[in-house]
Chain A
Amino acid sequence: MSTESAPVPQSATADGGADTPRFAVSALVTNLRDYGLVLALIAIMVFFQFTTSGTLFKPLNLSNLVQQNSFIIVMALGMLLVIVSGYIDLSVGSVAGFIGALAANMMVTWNLGPLSNPLVVSILCLIIGGAIGAAQGYWIAYHRIPSFIVTLAGMLIFRGMCQALLGGGSSVGPLPDGFNKLSSGFIPDLIGPLTLIAPTVNAAGKTIVGSGLTLHMTTMVIGVIGVAAYIFFGLKARRTRERHGYQAEPFSLFTVKTLVISALVLFLVYQFATYKGFPVVLTVMAALIALFVFVTKRMTIGRRIYAMGGNPKAALLSGINTERLTLYVFINMGVLSALGGLIIAARLGQAVPAAGLGSELDVIAAVFIGGASAMGGVGQVIGSVVGGFIMGVMNNGMSIMGVNVDWQQVVKGLVLLGAVVFDVYNKNKG
């Protein structure tokens, strides 16, 4: 009785939705949080664009931004599922460090012959990451040991093993160039560059770096196709809904949303194209984001994860094998932690004992800023990605501004608290 304070507004006869204006408002209200998050990211970017006198959106800096933060976002994808399931994983930073150390040793120190090929090593490392996830998930799923404790143990164990593999305080490297491409490389321009403005030539007959305007055409083409596909599928989904007699999102809202997102994406694509094109790691990250959006929104396994996090007992009694599902969630987390570790190592060009140290907190913060609930059952992939970028942009912007690292932490902490307070406030009001 305590939960039902008001009679349910009755519109039982209207199918699929109420009258249009109210529907538009309610659609806006329900999505306010998502829009608000994107708007917050844009606001933060604009803020730093000014305070860094235009450095933030420089193509070079955008590439740096992506390359610095991709591992956080990759791991946040796994962490989202962990948190939505109602668990937590504190070990991801240590696992990433351990895998980086392992990969470096396999490629550089140990004489493994053909097995030291970067691709082979990467695949093996992802499998080992999955095994680590399975080992932790096993205790959580089948023995009901709280995930906080199991992964706290994992955090200690794998940090220790990382340091042991690197022989105390030393680092292992340099890693092969082919491997480092994962983080510092750019996609090849298969179409060929398009020169819009010829670069200025100096007296010695050499071109001046940074002058002129040349576009990385493969990047532009992929970007434009991507945006076109986004608009096309958005319209198609609307039409299908309407054909089935359901009301779609109000057209005005849809148009504004689509245009803003398309413009933003095209702007970023253009910026990348004027530099060296898409970083390799950006394409990996984008593919993973798309995959996880699809899994969480459209696949039964995604739905089951949300149901398990929302009410594990009800999920179990609905025929969902919650133990196995928990195991899968942690295996997935392990694989993505390993990928995060590879990305870190490839970016640094070597494995260091402190690789990924403390990054589990950034990853968890990204997911919570993105609107996930610590109680489980609530959270979105896109939210976590945006949350990750908010953290990343703040790191990057404050570094350029010359803000002391200590104070950067203070600001990040305040943003995390603010985001969650905003969430809770919204929920109580609603």
Chain B
Amino acid sequence: MASTILEMQDITKTFPGVKALSNVNLRVEEGEIHAVVGENGAGKSTLMKVLSGVYPSGSYDGKIIFRGEECHFKGIHDSEHKGIVIIHQELALVPMLSITENIFLGNEHARRGIIDWDANEARTTGLLKKVGLKEDPNTLITNIGVGKQQLVEIAKALSKEVKLLILDEPTASLSEKDSQALLDLLLEFKRQGMTSILISHKLNEVNRVADKVTIIRDGRTIETLARKDISEDRIITSMVGRSLDDRYPPREPRIGDVVLQIRDWSVYHPIHADRQVIKGIDVDVRKGEVVGIAGLMGAGRTEFAMSLFGRSYGRRITGEVLLNGKPVDLSSVSKAVKHGIAYVTEDRKTYGLNLIDHIKHNITLANLGGVSRHGVIDDLRELDVANDYRKKTNIRASSVYQMTGNLSGGNQQKVVLSKWLFANPEVLILDEPTRGIDVGAKYEIYTIIARLAAEGKAIIVISSEMPELLGITDRIYVMNEGRIVGEMAANDASQEKIMRAIVRGEGKAS
């Protein structure tokens, strides 16, 4: 019989002017995997920060009872001391230190300040075995992939004798395969009796591993579902407060002539000069058509898009691009933009936004010519444009003068989209347009994509979420290891077909 390990009662947290959490209740039983889901900005992260002491006791109302005693955490140290460990979405590892050094950072086995590396390494080896990571403990973090880094984070948590493990969007930047492995690991921990809280957007994952799901909306607990009641539809309904009959907006494609033709496109790796990343691929996109590019992480999809967009990636780029039948020179970003090509990055924080500037300045950045004359910006015209796009893409912010760094993921994505829509492209390449954003905002992004296609734009969508590709595209290319290994009409495609194309492609490549 399971007992309650954690109970958060009537947690209320206010920021100046905003009530982030109001009377939230969360009850986690010993040994379960408890998922917390909710739209971005619903208050999940705030709740976890309250729990871990980032917001110290006294700055919020309500009670935290952990393992039978009421806790007043003053900081992360207090909560970690009790065995509550959070692994954040953005990993907190030092890239130029080794796995061992990272795991025991600030917590080294040492005698009088002198580190006993042998003892640390021995423990690391044990921890790595537990999380199923086969790497030399001396490997530098920078030399292993994101998936493995996540495992190192978990090993680090285990080294602290964790009683309650909290994972914030752990699979957001992982490939399908790594995600599966991570979830399996969670289930394995559960078998060993560990309790975890999983914060996730990916409902299929929640569905797969969670024993209970607590749904938070607008800073309130909506409900907690037990295993037998968990279904994606039920969760979505609770999350958005309305039922989404269809997760994808309906559209009637009106497909015209070929706009963009890419012939025999080849790209080499920017550092390893002899490694060919893109191996002579052909892609066509028509007017009003939404074309998807499916594939696993590392298939070369982003590399392809960025090399196309002003040679922003790679070296020794060869191949031909025809726009409306004529060859065009896309050798710099400004040339690509001038020819009506836009690329919306998969990593909006690193490549998409100036986070320390406000919405207005971000929206006009790619087309400053559109709001200026002779290099002088027309302030009011710019304000009109920004407000116009804010309305069109439904950016939720107090005004266009809000810093983009303070927006939620979905709203940030809408700002990036607005920026490129204002550049008025003919061809729009969207790289993982809904990564890390919630169901409601996803639907809005899909609606925008559908509207753009209806306006006659040619759209390429790169996505790792196969249901999304099947839901919103007209045609799908499957990429693997730098090659196109399949092409199918969307209404004829299925997840199995795409996977089969990838697997067959892998066979061919080796």
A associates with B:
yes
A contact residues vs B (CB 8 Å cutoff): 1-12, 15-18, 240-241, 244, 246, 298-301, 303-304, 306-307, 310-311, 313-321, 373, 377-378
B88 touching A1, Cβ below 8 Å: yes
Contact of B89 among A2, A11, A321 (CB under 8 A): A2
Contact of B20 among A2, A5, A313 (CB under 8 A): A5
B377 touching A299, Cβ below 8 Å: yes
Interchain pairs with CB closer than 8 A, number: 154
Q: A3 contacts which chain B residues (CB < 8 A)?
A: 405-406
Q: B396 contacts which chain A residues (CB < 8 A)?
A: 8, 10, 12
B45 touching A2, Cβ below 8 Å: yes
- Which 10 residue pairs of A and B lie closest in terms of their CB atoms, listed nearest first? A310-B354, A319-B334, A318-B366, A300-B368, A7-B41, A319-B337, A6-B20, A319-B333, A311-B354, A6-B15
The reply on B312 being an interface residue by CB < 8 A is yes
The reply on B42 being an interface residue by CB < 8 A is yes
The reply on B276 being an interface residue by CB < 8 A is no
Contact of B376 among A17, A298, A306, A311 (CB under 8 A): A298
Cβ of B402 to closest chain A Cβ, rounded Å: 8
The reply on B138 being an interface residue by CB < 8 A is no
> Could you tell me the dominant secondary structure of chain A's interface residues?
loop
Across the two chains, which residue of chain B brings its CB closest to A306? Answer: B357
B contact residues vs A (CB 8 Å cutoff): 15, 17-18, 20, 40-46, 49, 88-90, 168-169, 199, 218-219, 309-310, 312, 332-334, 336-337, 343, 345, 350-357, 361, 365-366, 368-369, 372, 375-377, 379-380, 383-384, 387, 390, 394-399, 402, 405-409, 411, 419, 436
Q: B343 contacts which chain A residues (CB < 8 A)?
A: 317
* With contact pairs A5-B15, A8-B411, A301-B375 given, residues A315 and B365 touching in the complex (Cβ less than 8 Å): yes
Q: B383 contacts which chain A residues (CB < 8 A)?
A: 16, 244, 246
Across the two chains, which residue of chain A brings its CB closest to B44? Answer: A1
B379 touching A298, Cβ below 8 Å: yes
Cβ of B351 to closest chain A Cβ, rounded Å: 5
Q: B394 contacts which chain A residues (CB < 8 A)?
A: 12
A378 touching B89, Cβ below 8 Å: no
A303 touching B354, Cβ below 8 Å: no
Contact of B345 among A17, A310, A317 (CB under 8 A): A317
- State the CA gap A310–B357 with chains docked (Å): 7
B43 touching A314, Cβ below 8 Å: no
Contact of B419 among A11, A318, A378 (CB under 8 A): A318
Please name 5 pairs of A and B residues whose Cβ atoms are closer than 8 Å in the assembled complex, sorted by A.
A4-B408, A5-B49, A8-B41, A246-B383, A298-B379
Q: A307 contacts which chain B residues (CB < 8 A)?
A: 354, 357, 361, 365
Cβ of B500 to closest chain A Cβ, rounded Å: 35
Across the two chains, which residue of chain A brings its CB closest to B13? Answer: A6
Q: B390 contacts which chain A residues (CB < 8 A)?
A: 12
* With contact pairs A12-B396, A16-B399, A303-B365 given, residues A1 and B168 touching in the complex (Cβ less than 8 Å): yes
A377 touching B354, Cβ below 8 Å: yes
- State the CA gap A378–B42 with chains docked (Å): 31
Q: B399 contacts which chain A residues (CB < 8 A)?
A: 11, 16-18
A314 touching B333, Cβ below 8 Å: no
- State the CA gap A111–B402 with chains docked (Å): 61
A303 touching B380, Cβ below 8 Å: no
Cβ of A317 to closest chain B Cβ, rounded Å: 5
Q: B169 contacts which chain A residues (CB < 8 A)?
A: 1
- State the CA gap A246–B387 with chains docked (Å): 11
Across the two chains, which residue of chain A brings its CB closest to B344? Answer: A317
- State the CA gap A373–B357 with chains docked (Å): 13
Cβ of B126 to closest chain A Cβ, rounded Å: 30
A313 touching B351, Cβ below 8 Å: yes
Across the two chains, which residue of chain A brings its CB closest to B168? Answer: A1
